[in-house]
Amino acid sequence: MTPHISARRGEIAETVLMPGDPLRAKWAAETFLENPVCVNEVRGMLGFTGTWRGHRVTIHGSGMGMPSLSIYANELIREYGANTLIRIGSAGAMQPHVAIRDVVLAMTSSTLSTPSCGIFRELNFAPCADYGLLRAAHAAAEAKGIRAHVGGIYSSDVFYDERPDLNKQMQRHGILAVEMEAAELYTLAARYGARALAVLTISDHLLTHEALPAADRQSSFSDMVEIALEAAFA
């Protein structure tokens, strides 16, 4: 047990999918895993372990933002031996060619700050995905006929952004989408020798102001979970 995860040793799989919303973790576990068992509910952050095509998988919520994800990723890697962590979540598109329902596979993640910034001091560390996971996820998306984009994203430490000037510069430099967790996940994976990837569904668009209707989100998120699972065990 850790301060934030009540699972016993052996109850967490080496492969962990991490949605931000704990209820989405519950939905994904019940939808995609065989015999899912709840292994954590401390502070309402749900985690489930089951099997997918004979492979053990844990699906565990990360909470919203990099500080929350940092807590769970640290404990999952250091205390439970997780070595493949895939974020599954929503993102806002920042480029005209990235559409609602598209999937973004984050090759890199830019950020203003993360909980790890104090370690690097003056160094601007460049967090990136595991190439094997990235390649396998892209192949899985192509095989399923799912429109997927590979490139850089932005991990914001605020939800209510007040920097339109910064957004314009990111759009100018090809940043595909914005979310709130991947940069810290990639940094922690690099630190501890784990594999990490963010598989993201575009749920809204910063340029067109479109948003995915609530009724359509579940089917679109299903694509993302399937891609993540295929990539983890390719």
82 within 8 A of 67, measured Cβ to Cβ:
no
66 in a labelled binding site = no
Is 105 domain-assigned? yes
Is 60 domain-assigned? yes
140 within 8 A of 162, measured Cβ to Cβ:
no
Q: What sign has the CA pseudo-torsion 181, 46, 33, 51?
A: positive
179 in a labelled binding site = yes
Residue 199: strand, helix, or coil: strand
Q: What pLDDT, on the 0 to 100 scale, is given for residue 66? A: 96
pLDDT tens across the length of the chain (234 residues): 899 999 999 999 999 999 999 999 999 999 999 999 999 999 999 999 999 999 999 999 999 999 999 999 999 999 999 999 999 999 999 999 999 999 999 999 999 988 888 899 889 999 999 999 999 999 999 999 999 999 999 999 998 988 889 999 999 999 999 999 999 999 999 999 999 999 999 999 999 999 988 667 766 799 999 999 999 999
Is 39 domain-assigned? yes
**Residues acting as catalytic residues:** 204
Q: Which of 103, 94, 104 is nearest to 209 (CA)?
A: 94
Domain CATH for 19: 3.40.50.1580
Is 156 domain-assigned? yes
Is 30 domain-assigned? yes
135 in a labelled binding site = no
> How many distinct structural domains can be found in the chain?
1
Is 6 domain-assigned? no
Is 64 domain-assigned? yes
180 in a labelled binding site = yes
Q: 101 CB contacts (<8 Å, ≥6 apart)? A: 147, 201, 202, 212, 216, 220
**Which domain covers residue 181, as residue numbers?**
15-232
